[in-house]
Amino acid sequence: MSIKLVAVDIDGTLVNSKREITPEVFEAVQDAKKQGVKVVIATGRPIAGVHQLLDDLKLNEDGDYIITFNGGLVQDVATGEDIIKESMSYDDYMEVEFLARKLGVHMHAITKEGIYTANRNIGKYTVHESTLVSMPIFYRTPEEMVGKDIVKMMLIDEPELLNAAIAKIPAEYYDRFNIVKSTPFYLEIMPKTVSKGNAVLHLAEKMGLSIDQTMAIGDEENDRAMLEVVGNPVVMENGNPELKKIAKYITKSNDESGVAYALRQWVLN
């Protein structure tokens, strides 16, 4: 049965190490579209950090979808309609904010409007995230976060500090939230029901597709959920070794246009 839905991560997957779309990837995506394959970007980024890629790949037309915030927000690209939207409560925010202070690492919360931090000395990785996803940073005290529509929160710091903090996170936080590491310096905390996997399954059902007709391409732990649920999980050559254990296929690296290789080898043949 032919593959009709391909969910693709961005960083370390769709773009190369210079954060560019290679000509090979562009052409393969266009060829997939011509054959009726739905290519859907699935990312931890907010929508503001994806607009340019959607334009560059012409994935902004009627019937195109986008998965952002690791599945916390799924939208129809052309209309902006929210298909899935999940938020964190103020109580959730306060728990994670307290945890970050207890562990001694930086933290920020993200809404559709921007990045909010209560760290008076704003962490450099908060600034990095702001630049990466084209969103403003707002300093707000915890009391000022009442009423904010938070999609996800992130513990952020130097890799060695973050790893030490992760080792001390109480088990009950994993029971309450979906917690995934997306880069060596980002730990993402979201509602328990949020994942790229749930978002991909929702879209597949909406499109009337079987699991065998779905593929996901990724490289990091925040891609695990979608790789585990699709019929055709593909991991990048530069991907996490643990993820390669669950892959049906290993494609070339992101600097070798691995997404293009995957599409041509296993979708467009």
Beta-strand pair 177-183/186-191: antiparallel
Decide: 145 and 90 in contact? Cβ < 8 Å: yes
- Cβ partners under 8 Å of residue 18, min gap 6: none
- The torsion defined by the Cα of 216, 269, 257 and 12, in degrees rounded to 10, comes to 10
Cα–Cα dist 66/79, whole Å = 11
Cα–Cα dist 256/234, whole Å = 15
Residue spans of alpha helices (H) in the chain: 23-34, 51-56, 90-103, 124-133, 159-166, 171-176, 196-206, 224-229, 241-244, 258-266
The DSSP symbol for 14 reads I
- Cβ partners under 8 Å of residue 195, min gap 6: 70, 71, 178, 225, 226
- Cβ partners under 8 Å of residue 243, min gap 6: 218, 219, 220, 221, 223, 224, 227, 235
Residues in a beta bridge with 66: 41, 75
Cα–Cα dist 100/47, whole Å = 25
The DSSP symbol for 69 reads G
The SS3 call for residue 47 is helix
92 is catalytic: no
Active site residues: 9
